[in-house]
């Protein structure tokens, strides 16, 4: 079972939910931090690094002596990473997505591939939690390939919690595609509702079962709950606006450790998400 924790914007408590859910497990669980531009789940754990590997993309390198400046490579590349106008091509490796298209299309075999490092995937262990996090190198803008590298490091036969980047753009879609279920974290405010409805549209298009976690219930109004009721979206968890929770989080500690009365709520969140992913089969009509 792979559960994604996502939200339409940052600052809703998404990482808090993901990390506490992992800690509430009684046995082995994996936590994947796919917010590779700003991984922060590790701040809540006291893990030791047990593995690290660099992630590279194959980018083109042109052998000018073989190139006849036909421009086929540049016409093919939709990312403008290789540009030619009657000249041997100019390369912009930072825009290259490593698709290999230019290499295949070059009629003269003038393009070779070299590795360009984009970031690292690190593994840490803290008790029963194995954290896998991607960390994009400074100045690199290619998030989806690193997210895919993080996901490729995850086991298939263990419970996995995936902390998605905030928002509804390509990095999020690369993260949540193929997961078994999603928990969308929001706050019960007009802004929260707006961002939630964007996230709901995205998730419905990807056809992933999902429910909602409402964080800081009590700060706003009941429009998020009304929206979920009307849309038939299950509420997986209501987290009250408890000042003690804010204090625990601001100290980088975990709610389920410091305020154990919240443990069962996170266990219910996991159970509810599993029920979404594998619904009880409907009875056949008699």
- Residues lying near ligand SF4 in the complex (CB under 6 A) are found at 59-60, 62, 67-73, 76-77, 79, 81-82, 84, 88-89, 96-102, 106, 108, 110-111
Output the smallest distance, CB 81 to another protein, in A: 7
Based on CB atoms, which residue is closest to ligand SF4, 55 or 224?
Answer: 55
Output the smallest distance, CB 194 to another protein, in A: 23
User: How far apart are the C-alpha atoms of 47 and 124, rounded to whole Å?
Assistant: 5
Based on CB atoms, which residue is closest to another protein, 43 or 141?
Answer: 141
Based on CB atoms, which residue is closest to another protein, 141 or 286?
Answer: 141
Selection from another protein, ligand SF4, none that 255 binds (CB < 5 to 8 A by kind) is none
Output the smallest distance, CB 195 to another protein, in A: 21
User: How far apart are the C-alpha atoms of 144 and 171, rounded to whole Å?
Assistant: 5
Based on CB atoms, which residue is closest to another protein, 3 or 57?
Answer: 57
Output the smallest distance, CB 107 to ligand SF4, in A: 6
Which positions lie near another protein, rule CB under 8 A?
A: 74, 79-81, 83, 85, 87, 90, 92, 95, 141
CA-to-CA separations, 273 to 121, 200, 286, in angstroms, rounded: 27, 16, 30
Based on CB atoms, which residue is closest to another protein, 76 or 277?
Answer: 76
Output the smallest distance, CB 148 to ligand SF4, in A: 15
* 3-state SS string for the chain: CEEEEECCCCCCCHHHHHHHHHHHCCCCEEEEECCCCCCCHHHHCCCEEEEEEEEEEEEEEECCCCCCCCCHHHHHCCCCCEECCCCCCEECHHHCCCCCHHHHHCCCCCEEEEEEEEEEEEEEEECCEEEEEEEECCCCCCHHHHHHHHHHCCCCCCCEEEECCCCCCHHHHHHHCCCCEEEEEECCCHHHHHHHHHHHHHHHHHCCCEEEEEEEECCCCCHHHHHHHHHCCCEEEEEECCHHHHHHHHCCCCHHHHCHHHHHHHHHHHHHHHHHHCCCCCCCCC
Selection from another protein, ligand SF4, none that 90 binds (CB < 5 to 8 A by kind) is another protein
Based on CB atoms, which residue is closest to ligand SF4, 4 or 98?
Answer: 98
Selection from another protein, ligand SF4, none that 118 binds (CB < 5 to 8 A by kind) is none
Selection from ligand SF4, another protein, none that 280 binds (CB < 5 to 8 A by kind) is none
Based on CB atoms, which residue is closest to ligand SF4, 137 or 241?
Answer: 137
User: How far apart are the C-alpha atoms of 178 and 198, rounded to whole Å?
Assistant: 19
Output the smallest distance, CB 149 to ligand SF4, in A: 17
Output the smallest distance, CB 113 to ligand SF4, in A: 8
Selection from another protein, ligand SF4, none that 176 binds (CB < 5 to 8 A by kind) is none
User: How far apart are the C-alpha atoms of 154 and 123, rounded to whole Å?
Assistant: 10
């Amino acid at each position: 079972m792979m559960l994604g924790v996502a939200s339409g914007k940052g600052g809703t408590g998404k990482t808090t939910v993901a990390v506490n859910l992992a800690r509430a497990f009684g046995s082995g669980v994996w936590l994947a931090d796919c917010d590779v531009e700003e991984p922060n789940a590790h701040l809540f754990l006291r893990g030791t690094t047990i593995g690290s590997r660099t992630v590279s993309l194959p980018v083109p390198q042109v052998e000018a002596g073989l190139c006849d400046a036909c421009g086929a490579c540049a016409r093919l590349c939709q990312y403008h990473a290789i540009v030619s106008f009657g000249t041997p091509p100019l390369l912009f490796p930072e825009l290259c997505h490593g698709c290999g298209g230019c290499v295949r299309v070059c009629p003269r075999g003038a393009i070779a591939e070299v590795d360009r490092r984009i970031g690292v995937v690190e593994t840490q262990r803290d008790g029963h939690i194995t954290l896998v996090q991607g960390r994009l190198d400074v100045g690199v803008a290619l998030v989806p390939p690193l997210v895919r590298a993080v996901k490729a490091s995850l086991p298939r036969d263990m419970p996995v919690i995936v902390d998605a980047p905030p928002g509804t753009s390509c990095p999020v879609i690369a993260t949540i595609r193929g997961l078994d279920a999603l928990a969308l974290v929001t706050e019960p405010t007009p802004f929260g509702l707006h961002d939630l409805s964007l996230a709901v549209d995205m998730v419905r298009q990807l056809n992933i079962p999902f429910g909602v976690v409402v964080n800081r219930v009590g700060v706003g109004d009941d429009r998020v709950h009304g929206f979920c009721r009307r849309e038939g979206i299950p509420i997986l968890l209501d987290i009250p606006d408890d000042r003690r929770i804010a204090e625990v989080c601001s100290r980088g500690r975990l709610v389920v450790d410091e305020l154990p009365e919240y443990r069962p709520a996170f266990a219910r969140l996991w159970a509810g998400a599993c029920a979404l992913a594998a619904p009880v089969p409907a009875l056949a009509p008699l």
